[in-house]
Amino acid sequence: MFKNHLNIAWRTIKKDKLFTFIKIGGFAVGIAACLLIALFIRNEVSYDQHYAKKDQIYRVVMQGVLQGEVLKSTHFQLPFAEAVQSDFPEIIKAGKVNNIEIFGAGKHGIRVNGKQENTFEENFVLADQEAFDILEINLKQGNPETALIEPKSLVISKSKAEKYFPNGNALEQTIFLDNDTSKPYTITGVMEDIPENSHLNFDFMLPVEDNYGSWTNQNYFTYVLVNPNTNIQELEQKMSLIVEKYIIPAQIKRGRSADFIDVLRTIEYKLQPITDIYLKSDIKMQDGLKHGDIKFIWLFAAIAAFVLLLAMINFINLSTAKSANRAKEVGLRKTIGAFRNNLVNQFLTESVVFSIISFVLGIALAWVLLPTFNEIASKNMELPWSTWWFLPALLIAALLIGVLAGLYPAFYLSAFRPVNVLKGTLSVGSKSGRLRSGLVIFQFTTSVILIIGTLIIYRQMDYIISKELGYNKERVVVLEGTNILGNKIESFKEQLSSLSQVKNVTSTNYLPVDGGSRNGNTFMVEGQDDGGRGIPAQIWRVDYDYIKTLGIQMTKGRDFSKEFAYDSINSIVINTKMASDLGLKDPIGKKIDNGGQTFEVIGVIENFHFKSLKEDISALSLVIGKDVGAVSVKLEKGNPSEALSSIEKVWNRNIPNQALNYTFLEQEFAQMHDDVQRMGKIFNSFALFALLVACLGLFALSAFMVEQRRKEISIRRVLGAPFKNIYQLLTLDFLKLIVISICIAIPIGWYFMNRWLEGFAYHITIGWEIFATAALIALGIAILTISYQSIGAAFLQPTKGLRTE
């Protein structure tokens, strides 16, 4: 019997190749989309799952209230880790990691002892031995118990060891950083490469050498390993004692006001599971690490479910659309004694066969598209062929989906009454017609929502790229790894400034893009008593040409100048946000301090974006200081390639036989929002998948309607009805369904995309034109889809439609 079902299924496939292609193709597209999304979600949720003691490892997060706003931070004082480890027995180990202030962020020159040329590298961290242990660093060479104990130790990744020491012996080798031969580093360990799905990615670990840091500077992540079965909430409450025991006494010693101390008393400590860091970190933490977004995971999971559901709906519609062709088969088989359960089994077998073929094609399509998807998503995913569960899971899914998708068509088709079929009086009940219309409304509602999302994401990205940032990023070349110039930096700047293609030059790695150096302090207005307000702010070390080079506008006061000797000692320029936070209406000449030094405000600059547009502009200050991690060159208008050639010649004169590394500030800015652009591309890709599947569904319904009204159309043609009337007859009902879909989709799309935009401090306003565009796109696609069937039916020879009469 089963073999007979298979034979009939195969004949059905060969009989109507177009409908078979659409039915299987729609299913395959849906399966491919679901499989790609599943791989993406699996990769995202796999972050930091590789730790053997992942349930015991936490990162400490600090939060407090300042001026009614909740502030969060993941950066702590140097002694914090030792304090929590000694004061709380629940904590087995506490370690610290610094990824932002490692002798200047960005790229650094690495030179192996005995070699002449530097190679520029990034991904450095400072860490102590406790952090090394907590993060379960796996050493291939070296002693894991002492790898970061000694000063000037260095642990490098296996891939970097193979790069610099291809003979395989990296231990005890000496390297120099940034050409500083006075500070040689000795390799004490070679570690396994940090997995790509880790929130921390680094190739070089250096020891924390200052173990006597103050309780006022905050630059270190703190990771803790807690005892099993620790009550985390109770531990968090106990950790607040750190504030009273260590932090407040240190700040009182610095002369902080009573109001400032009250702010400190609002500080709480939270323990964030290490497995939550990548996907569930609040953007207010500003930890400088790469992050995913759990909201996108739910969104893509919903898209996958909807695409698969749309594909199943297509299967149902296409099966019932061809019901008239199967009706006589059902009638004859019932007449000669076939039971309904035999027919149900037949149609379910066909459905499962279709599903299995669709799964095979869908998997093949996903395999073909995976390299492109990896490129869009910046991933390195593979189909998990080698895992024991993959193929069995696909087979079970194919069988299950085949049965689910075939249930309604099987029971619908097997319910035809033989007497009605053989008399030619078979008609479609209103109930099934309403169901099919409802399914198409569901399909196009989903599609219009995705179209709205696509348009808004595109508009938001265009807004980000073109927004006025408060500084001029155009034609600014950033020369990386300039630490290796050492004492030649000033001469190098002068040589660049003398080039006709160069407008300005500045030397600092404190740049308004990701990867630039950052340094946070707390500032107060000097002389204010309990009414004074301490505020967190960035303090950047720059040179005299920084403001001019980046085109930052002064609003009050003046820029730094070499004519004023004290500018290099205690002058400070602040942004308008910082002036406002300090409560200074006329800040020029006012004295402010960060607990360690007093500065005089000489100028106020316009606010400019130095973080992602997801975040508000925060307080920022500039002081004269030495930071040679990068040199930024503002080019004159003209051919940039000629300017770059001239810059390279100057570089080669100063650093012979050393490659020049550079990028453009515009590129760095775009890369800062790469995660949003990447997610937008992924969203758009799957929106296209869903729209394609929905169009196939509309094609199915239009085919069904033409099938049912073929005789009516033929009679109308015989009676002289023009093409226009027949076309309207066949399309008007469909367009009503699309209009209903649009009306349902618009408020839903507005709600969800408005919530998405709330994640950006600066974003577009959703206007009516977006919904109008989405509606026109949906209507246009629907009309094109319907027209294929409608035009064919309108030109059908009447004799073909009436030949069975």
Domain limits for position 686:
443-467+673-805
* In a shared domain, residues 189 and 152: yes
* In a shared domain, residues 696 and 720: yes
H/E element, 4: helix 2-15
Whether residue 91 lies inside any domain: the answer is yes
- 494: pLDDT confidence band, cut at 50, 70 and 90? very high
* In a shared domain, residues 195 and 129: yes
Whole-number pLDDT of residue 3: 62
* In a shared domain, residues 605 and 687: no
Whole-number pLDDT of residue 211: 55
Residue 704 has pLDDT above 70, yes or no: no
Whole-number pLDDT of residue 506: 95
Global confidence as pTM: 0.81
* In a shared domain, residues 151 and 253: yes
- 681: pLDDT confidence band, cut at 50, 70 and 90? confident
Are the C-beta atoms of residues 591 and 527 closer than 8 Å to each other? yes
- Dig out the tokens for 662 from the structure: 């550079």
**Residue 234, CA distances (Å) to 56, 239, 240, 268, 271 in order:** 15, 9, 11, 12, 11
% of the chain residues with pLDDT over 90: 36
- 309: pLDDT confidence band, cut at 50, 70 and 90? confident
- 793: pLDDT confidence band, cut at 50, 70 and 90? low
Whole-number pLDDT of residue 550: 95
Could you give the number of structural domains in the chain?
4
Whole-number pLDDT of residue 46: 94
* In a shared domain, residues 495 and 632: yes
H/E element, 93: strand 91-98
Rounded to the nearest integer, the mean pLDDT of the chain is 83
- 302: pLDDT confidence band, cut at 50, 70 and 90? confident
Whether residue 300 lies inside any domain: the answer is yes
Q: Which span out of 296-305, 423-432, 711-720 was modeled with the highest average pLDDT? A: 296-305
Whether residue 286 lies inside any domain: the answer is no
What's the rounded mean pLDDT across residues 292-299? 84
Q: 671: which residues sit within 8 A by CB, 6+ positions away?
A: 513, 514
What's the rounded mean pLDDT across residues 336-356? 75
Whole-number pLDDT of residue 7: 61
At residue 169, what is the residue type? Answer: N
Least confident of 171-180, 231-240, 320-329, 608-617: 320-329
Q: 787: which residues sit within 8 A by CB, 6+ positions away?
A: 727, 731
Of the two residues 794 and 480, the one the predictor is more confident about is 480
Q: Any idea what the Cα angle at residue 567 is, between residues 566 and 568, rounded to 5°?
A: 90
Whole-number pLDDT of residue 401: 84
Residue 722 has pLDDT above 80, yes or no: no
Residue 62 has pLDDT above 60, yes or no: yes
Positions of E strands within 201-245: 204-207, 218-226
Q: Which span out of 32-36, 278-282, 435-439, 729-733 was modeled with the highest average pLDDT? A: 32-36
Whether residue 649 lies inside any domain: the answer is yes
pLDDT in tens, 583-604: 898 999 999 988 778 999 999 9
Q: Any idea what the Cα angle at residue 761 is, between residues 545 and 606, rounded to 5°?
A: 30
- 798: pLDDT confidence band, cut at 50, 70 and 90? low
Whole-number pLDDT of residue 805: 46
What's the rounded mean pLDDT across residues 353-371? 91
Going by the DSSP 8-state scheme, the letter that residue 70 receives in this structure is E
H/E element, 556: strand 554-557
* In a shared domain, residues 506 and 574: yes
* In a shared domain, residues 120 and 86: yes
* In a shared domain, residues 652 and 677: no
- CA pair distance 549, 551, nearest whole angstrom: 6
Whether residue 364 lies inside any domain: the answer is yes
Residue 274 has pLDDT above 90, yes or no: yes
Least confident of 29-33, 397-401, 537-541, 718-722: 718-722
pLDDT in tens, 189-230: 999 999 999 999 899 999 987 655 677 777 789 999 999 989
Quick count: other Cβ atoms within 10 Å of Cβ 712? Answer: 12
* In a shared domain, residues 83 and 189: yes
Whether residue 362 lies inside any domain: the answer is yes
pLDDT in tens, 3-20: 655 665 566 666 666 677
pLDDT in tens, 527-583: 664 444 678 889 999 999 999 999 999 999 999 999 998 898 899 999 999 999 898
Q: Which has the closest alpha carbon to 780: 789, 772, 768, 792?
A: 772
Of the two residues 742 and 345, the one the predictor is more confident about is 742
Task: Pick the last residue of a domain from 650, 672, 694.
Answer: 672
Q: Which span out of 173-187, 317-331, 618-632 was modeled with the highest average pLDDT? A: 618-632
Of the two residues 525 and 155, the one the predictor is more confident about is 155
What's the rounded mean pLDDT across residues 794-798? 64
- 693: pLDDT confidence band, cut at 50, 70 and 90? confident
Least confident of 422-436, 499-513, 662-676: 422-436
- Dig out the tokens for 244 from the structure: 């009273």
Residue 418 has pLDDT above 80, yes or no: no
Q: Backbone dihedral region of 68: left (phi > 0), alpha (psi from -120 to 50 degrees) or beta?
A: left
Residue 324 has pLDDT above 60, yes or no: no
What's the rounded mean pLDDT across residues 446-474? 86
- CA pair distance 133, 419, nearest whole angstrom: 80
- 430: pLDDT confidence band, cut at 50, 70 and 90? very low
What's the rounded mean pLDDT across residues 441-446? 84
Are the C-beta atoms of residues 70 and 284 closer than 8 Å to each other? yes
Whole-number pLDDT of residue 698: 72
Whole-number pLDDT of residue 337: 62
pLDDT in tens, 102-140: 555 567 888 888 887 888 888 889 999 999 999 999 999
Whether residue 393 lies inside any domain: the answer is yes
What's the rounded mean pLDDT across residues 776-792? 80
Task: Pick the last residue of a domain from 672, 699, 724.
Answer: 672
H/E element, 328: helix 323-335
Residue 700 burial by Cβ neighbours in a 10 Å radius (0-12, 13-18, 19+): buried
Whole-number pLDDT of residue 596: 74
* In a shared domain, residues 260 and 390: no
Collapsed DSSP state (helix, strand, coil) of residue 652: helix
Residue 1 has pLDDT above 90, yes or no: no
Task: Pick the last residue of a domain from 656, 672, 688.
Answer: 672
What number of CA atoms fall less than 13 Å from residue 499's CA on the CB side?
A: 25
What's the rounded mean pLDDT across residues 423-430? 50
Q: Which has the closest alpha carbon to 287: 581, 103, 514?
A: 514
476-480/268-273 β-pairing: unpaired
Whether residue 433 lies inside any domain: the answer is no
Whole-number pLDDT of residue 325: 59
* In a shared domain, residues 577 and 496: yes
Collapsed DSSP state (helix, strand, coil) of residue 257: coil
